Structure 1
């Protein structure tokens, strides 16, 4: 049974077609991710499918009730943090007996632990789910189909997000091959037409050395042959006119940082931390970070990630940077941008790279052609983030310190940011909740947890595997601990059965009570 059926649904924004959905049928238990650039119409599509906005054209039928997890506009007057508000909204949506769950950016404001909790809830529910998210790992783990909105067209792909991207690339490669074949055939026909027309022109000229009378006698013969050649030219022109035109697929330029513009750091260690901490947030950390490392900083909301980065950039006591280190700092306030200048001007004023390289990076961050001349004052939140990132990337820095660089970025901008960070030749420290970014970029981690900061010399995937091993070993460790406690209890009880001095008996009874509490705690944890 279908819970939702939509056919030939169109939605207009003024004179612009926002999206066109030919057909969508959602079955019970089905989980579909919705992706597209910021402003593509993803939220409007959800609201239209839910009946909160009318469709301009088409038919939508819902068989059952709908529950919403709407994109949070954080309420600063509430006693709860943004993450806590999101969690409460998610719990309320799950408490409703609705057959279809609509979720619009439910990971916003959630830390890593919150995202994993949400992932578990979405995977285990038997309801149908339509999910808008910029979290690629979440879309991979939860969704069995992806609905893409691109240039107003809705296309449904089978599989999770990774499969969708692979299929998208396969289709793009096929379209590129078709385009290359079209261009080659067009050039071949045009060259053949030119050659035939030139042959026709030459045929009407009498050969050298031929008298006027001889030329007149052969004119009819040459005209007959020329007519046949001209006919062939027309046939070729007809084939060219019938040749199906293929559009060139869009392809972003490759980012290659110029080593001549990058100031290397001579020392093997770029940063040493000697007992760097923050009372009330995390205990002092001691570590040495090698030059060229890409370090992800992770932890719960409020754990102190931004504080740690501020301590590093401000060169707080205990922070020792290599003398050649030049730090580029990206933070959410975006105070590196001049509102009066264009995107291109903002980047160019602090960069040694030429305009071609600057435009290449901006194109990678989805600022194309004339968009680079937009003034910062008219940019959206996501566009400002991308402009600030580009300015930091292309500055004279050889160390980047980035605080939540993926906030406000859509899926495709995150993917391009990931590519740029992977190709960056310098040292990178970045705080993020984006698991995909952490897996692809970080080769080391600083983990802030339980008021401690720990330096982990491994990738995010290795860190996740270490957590899995720890969780898997906990039942065996608990059983072994329980056995030790019960053995100790038996020993204490045996000793209490004999006459003992009062002080020793009191100590044994205290130990007995302590072991009983430990035994009960271990049993509750089983």
Structure 2
């Protein structure tokens, strides 16, 4: 029999007037490895805080074990206990023995993870533990957690991480939590099967609805016809021997009306199946202003790239093809962002086609103000038709009624999605994206993948998300030992 470790019963968590979570019953057991997914703002972090004890909701939280907790954001000084650290783990994560104030974003995340993993509890809660980690560190973390024995619950948008560790998925949506067996790929298969079933139910509903509506119209026509015949007979002199015939016609009319009402009742009781919003296919035209025919719009000749005394690239040549999706990968500190900046600023060794027009996305680069609407804001900054702009926004999960929302009212997640929309609606032929998957949810990541694949120009991007790289990239270059070799997808 499985040993219960935590059980949530009749949980309600509100922030002001907004109900964030409403959970009737949810349980985790010893050795469960549960990946928690959902769109931004749905309550994933809130769920972990409730389990850990940082939040006290309505309802009952039954905990049979203690949990260690890695929050998504925390000041490193608050977690710094030097005498408790596992120095072997620190070494494996390649964390420098510097003052904590000098650590990079990736090094800070690894330091915090090492601190949490240095002490053992029967439960472990991790909130976006792979943020800022390079692929090498993500793989090291996966290896470390494979040997963790206890209840592991983790929030993540990293599909590789979810596939490697999760044996259950908790999907948080509209305040509810639905459990699926298996890892992320298994979850996707189950969701696809649910969609097939939902479409079948929708078709059955529409067929039954049409059948009943047609039958009701016919019955009403029959009742109206019988009524006219009955009224006509009543106006005629009716002999005694025909009285029974007239009454029979009245009875038939009432029977038809009763049948019609019965059908109307069945129609009213039909359980409506609401069709899902279909994402329209994105077909990017090429505006005349950014047409380009150079086979290799971005090239490097004897590029030398340094950061202080460190040589990042040493006399490297490269050429990035027209229309290709180019991923640049490498460990933290290898110089990926520096290379993108070097290209965009047309520095020494970079050869650009004279017609190159960049559109650049940097995480949290945009702040939106004012009362202008989302749609109006984008239409003023694009040569694309309104139908395509609407299609891009639809793919990024903006409902049609939200397009008139003022910029000042956007949430953080909405602002990020609008930033992505702006990237694709600006006239350009080369996109630059530096770690675009950081801090965005899975549905937005998958929408971004689709937009990048359909974009007709050249795309240069960096990412530590190996799943994302494999889905999008035509070519992958790895910055390592001052070189930039082309590698296969199997080697990232």
Range class of TM-score, shorter chain: 0.7 to 0.9
Q: TM-score, normalised by structure 1?
A: 0.80
Aligned residue in 1 for 2:55? 53
- Equivalent position SS for 1:25: strand
Aligned residue in 1 for 2:86? none
Q: Mean Cα displacement is larger for which, 164-173 or 430-439?
A: 164-173
In structure 1, distance between residues paired with 2:225 and 2:138:
76
> Is 1:84 aligned to 2:107, yes or no?
yes
Aligned residue in 2 for 1:407? 438
Which blocks of at least 5 consecutive residues in structure 2 are unaligned? Answer: 78-99
> Is 1:251 aligned to 2:282, yes or no?
no
Q: TM-score, normalised by structure 2?
A: 0.86
The within-5 A match list for 1:87-126 is 87-126=110-149
- Larger relative contact order (Cα-Cα within 8 Å, sequence gap ≥ 6): 2
Q: Mean Cα displacement is larger for which, 374-383 or 158-167?
A: 374-383
> Is 1:361 aligned to 2:389, yes or no?
no
> Is 1:38 aligned to 2:40, yes or no?
yes
Q: Which has the larger radius of gyration?
A: 1
Aligned residue in 2 for 1:62? 63
In structure 1, distance between residues paired with 2:405 and 2:420:
16
1:286 CA displacement = 0.5
Residues 382 and 408 (structure 1), Cα distance of their counterparts in 2 relative to 1, 3 Å cut: farther
Residues 384 and 17 (structure 1), Cα distance of their counterparts in 2 relative to 1, 3 Å cut: closer
In structure 1, distance between residues paired with 2:206 and 2:408:
42
1:276 CA displacement = 2.0
The within-5 A match list for 1:324-403 is 324-332=355-363, 334=365, 341-403=372-434
In structure 2, distance between residues paired with 1:348 and 1:106:
38
Residues 25 and 335 (structure 1), Cα distance of their counterparts in 2 relative to 1, 3 Å cut: closer
1:109 CA displacement = 2.0
In structure 1, distance between residues paired with 2:460 and 2:10:
48
CA contact (8 A) 1:72 1:108 kept: no
Q: Mean Cα displacement is larger for which, 230-239 or 122-131?
A: 230-239
CA contact (8 A) 1:75 1:82 kept: no
Q: CA RMSD in A?
A: 2.7
> Is 1:29 aligned to 2:31, yes or no?
yes
1:34 CA displacement = 1.0
> Is 1:149 aligned to 2:175, yes or no?
no
Aligned residue in 2 for 1:269? 296
Aligned residue in 1 for 2:484? 454
CA contact (8 A) 1:337 1:346 kept: no
Aligned residue in 1 for 2:85? none
1:251 CA displacement = 2.8
In structure 1, distance between residues paired with 2:141 and 2:250:
82
Aligned residue in 2 for 1:490? none
In structure 2, distance between residues paired with 1:63 and 1:103:
18
1:239 CA displacement = 2.0
CA contact (8 A) 1:143 1:160 kept: yes
Residues 51 and 258 (structure 1), Cα distance of their counterparts in 2 relative to 1, 3 Å cut: closer
- Equivalent position SS for 1:311: helix
Aligned residue in 2 for 1:318? 349
Residues 212 and 247 (structure 1), Cα distance of their counterparts in 2 relative to 1, 3 Å cut: closer
1:386 CA displacement = 1.9
Superposed CA deviations along residues 324-358 of structure 1, whole A, max 9, x for unmatched, are 43321222362596766433233212212222321
The within-5 A match list for 1:75-224 is 78-206=101-229, 213=236, 219-220=246-247, 222-224=249-251
1:162 CA displacement = 1.4
1:157 CA displacement = 0.9
In structure 1, distance between residues paired with 2:316 and 2:112:
36
